[in-house]
Amino acid sequence: MLEEILLNLHNRFEVQGTGLSGTFQISSGTLSLPQLQPGQYFWIEGSIFNDGLHKNPATGLQDETFTGVIIPAAIPRAVVALSEEISAWVSKHPADDRTSESFGGYSYSKATDKNGVPITWQPVFRSKLNRWRKL
């Protein structure tokens, strides 16, 4: 969810001038980068299987050797905490195309926007996220 939020913000919180270019090997599903702090986020670019946001040391990856770039990120704790809040909201409000249903004596309606489309996390959390948004 954090990666989706950062992409929605158009802000990857890249640490400028610290990208690591070269050939990297992921073995046993792990990539550990001693140049980064434990727990620091980073982006992989140029991988066939593992492009995207990861946390150092990264585990659960697809084994491969790739030539690409590792870009360290400095994601504020407030953004990480907000991503957890958004994840909790999404789990309570799963996306589907139904806005209401009823059967027997039971009826249920979802909140919708002005076009009748069920509300997603983006408009709900827009005001909290806007301070980090890039155009």
Q: What is the pLDDT of residues 75-101, one digit of tens each?
A: 999 999 999 999 999 999 887 655 556
Burial grade of 58 (CB within 10 A; 0-12, 13-18, 19 or more): buried
Read off the pTM: 0.84
pLDDT at 118: 75
pLDDT at position 134: 95
Is residue 27 a contact partner of residue 63, using CB atoms and an 8 Å limit? yes
Note the pLDDT of residue 104: 74
Q: Can you give the pLDDT at residue 16?
A: 93
Q: What mean pLDDT is predicted for residues 16-20?
A: 93
Give residues with Cβ within 8 angstroms of 103, minimum separation 6.
none
CB neighbours of 18 closer than 8 A, spacing ≥ 6? 71, 72
Pairing of strands 64-72, 52-55: unpaired
